[in-house]
Amino acid sequence: MLLTNYQTDSFYDEMFSEEGGIRQSYHILKSRIEGMDDKELLKRKASAEKALLSLGITFNVYGDEEEEERIMPFDIIPRIVTSFEWKKMEEGLKQRIRALNLFIQDIYGDENIIKDGVIPAEIVYSSSGYLKECKGIKPPKGIWIHITGTDLVRDGDGQMLVLEDNLRCPSGVSYVLENREVMKKTFPELFASLSVRPIYDYPIRLRGMLEHLSDKPNPNIGVLTPGIYNSAYYEHSFLASRMGVPLVEGTDLTVRDDKLYMRTTKGLKQVDVLYRRIDDTFMDPKAFRKDSLLGVPGIFEVFKKGNVALANAPGTGVADDKVIYSYVPDFIKYYLGEEPIIPNVPTYLCSREKDLKYVCENIGNLVVKAANGAGGYGMIIGPVASEKEKEEFVEKVKADPRNYIAQPVLSLSRIPTLIEDKLEGRHVDLRPFILYGEEIYVMPGGLTRVALRRGSLVVNSSQGGGSKDTWVMG
């Protein structure tokens, strides 16, 4: 019923092909939706949302006192990825993670990539995520980026592209896991007829990966959170709980004699591995930001001495920089001698004179982003910005070109989404989660984020985005 009047409006649609036919992988889903009374679908959506609220699966919105906690709006129409498509994405992501890890190891080590002229030294050193304090460090097993959330988008031609890599504290995996649980309750009959790859083992794999970082047989692990006011607090406690390890705050930890301990009712207990969800520079007021009240004084020294493993390792934020991002295809060629399986979105670097000129003249057709912005902040979408906003942004870019990149406005793919009482196309991206331990594991699927506002391309939860379950078949 709901799908009869659905319009793809000439966008690439995840469910329907250009000719208006349904894509093969969506056949069963479509017939189930059509067999369902409209009211039934709305009822299932309402009960799914209620379940999320009851469970307190919420995120905090900064600067919004009245409604400090919200659920991420959840859409019950899943996104389906075929096993063929997935195989390519999985391989592409593994390739990328390998190259990124080698890059980070290299720039804090011998700097061969700089010496060989693949990336200019000043680009690396001027990155706000580059920590000179990490120079010479070799983290346990040579792994720096244990947990990565890489954002993928599909452009107007249906081509998958990498939009950005999140290496410091990528969040959203708890939604992926909880959404799946809610979906299983909402559409049990669909799961019975489709072979959706399970994801419930993610916390177990996460734990296994963390254990791998220590040489002790039963290492003492913890998850470090900035506390309940952090926007991703729910996720921190969820992961700690599913792994069966304590969730700790900075004040629960203390450094004594170059070792890290947690304060317990029975005295101090040594910590061997810490999955930290605090940004690099807030992690240790002694080593980095003196004003941070969130971290643990002295923890960086403990890490340097090899007495605690930190995931992700400090210093990985350098590759969250969107300028560095534009070089990742070069890293893949340089370190692995391979062609990138998933390409980047074409990117202009404002620090290049030619690019800067182009960006200033064509800002109306571009998305311009701060190199270290996140959550949809510090960016402008040319086609929807006012003249004044564009002029102001051009000034900002000119004042600090190193800090800005620009990309063509992608016509992100869309997928049917339940808006009020009908299905409308909404733009989506996809954030798979990747674990790097004994081997590299890519969770099948990931977080599909949806821009719920009509026409919007911004999918961030802080900007009114929602999420969908992602089903990898077979």
Could you tell me if 380 and 350 are in contact, meaning their C-beta atoms sit under 8 angstroms apart? Answer: no
Classify residue 20 as exposed, middle or buried by CB count within 10 Å of its CB (0-12, 13-18, 19+): exposed
Give the torsion through C-alpha atoms of 239, 134, 329, 93, to 10 deg. -20
Stretch that binds another protein, among 183-191, 247-255, 325-333, 417-425 (CB under 8 A): 247-255
Q: Which of 268, 336, 385, 409 binds another protein (CB under 8 A)?
A: 268
CB of 93 to another protein, least distance (A): 29
228 binds another protein (CB under 8 A): yes
248 binds another protein (CB under 8 A): yes
CB of 252 to another protein, least distance (A): 5
Per-residue contact string for residues 49-88; x = within reach of another protein by CB under 8 A: ----xxxx--------------------------------
CB of 187 to another protein, least distance (A): 21
CB of 171 to another protein, least distance (A): 16
Per-residue contact string for residues 180-219; x = within reach of another protein by CB under 8 A: ----------------------------------------
Q: Which is nearer to another protein, 162 or 240 (CB)?
A: 240
Per-residue contact string for residues 388-417; x = within reach of another protein by CB under 8 A: ------------------------------
Question: Which SS3 state, helix, strand or coil, does residue 302 take?
Answer: helix
Q: Is the peptide bond before 312 cis (omega within 30 degrees of 0)?
A: yes
Phi-psi region of 384 (alpha: psi -120 to 50; beta: other; left: phi over 0): alpha
Q: Which of 38, 49, 155, 249 binds another protein (CB under 8 A)?
A: 249
Phi-psi region of 275 (alpha: psi -120 to 50; beta: other; left: phi over 0): beta
Could you tell me if 462 and 183 are in contact, meaning their C-beta atoms sit under 8 angstroms apart? Answer: no
CB of 294 to another protein, least distance (A): 14
Q: Which of 111, 133, 252, 355 binds another protein (CB under 8 A)?
A: 252
270 binds another protein (CB under 8 A): no
Please give the full DSSP string across 172-234, using - where no structure is assigned. Answer: -HHHHHHHHHHHHHH-HHHHHHS-BPP-TTHHHHHHHHHHHT-SSSS--EEEE---TTSTTHH
Q: Which is nearer to another protein, 265 or 386 (CB)?
A: 265
Q: Which is nearer to another protein, 53 or 121 (CB)?
A: 53
CB of 442 to another protein, least distance (A): 26
Q: Which is nearer to another protein, 228 or 293 (CB)?
A: 228
CB of 55 to another protein, least distance (A): 7
Total chain residues near another protein (CB under 8 A): 23
Give the torsion through C-alpha atoms of 279, 281, 287, 291, to 10 deg. -110
Stretch that binds another protein, among 15-23, 87-95, 240-248, 349-357 (CB under 8 A): 240-248
275 binds another protein (CB under 8 A): no
Q: Which residues pair with 441 in a beta bridge?
A: 435
Residue type, 148: T
Please give the full DSSP string across 217-232, using - where no structure is assigned. Answer: SS--EEEE---TTSTT
Element (H, E) at 442: strand 440-442
Q: Where are the alpha helices (DSSP H) in 405-453?
A: none
Question: Which SS3 state, helix, strand or coil, does residue 257 take?
Answer: coil
* Residues of this chain that bind another protein (CB under 8 A): 53-56, 227-228, 233, 237-238, 240-241, 246-249, 251-252, 262-265, 267-268
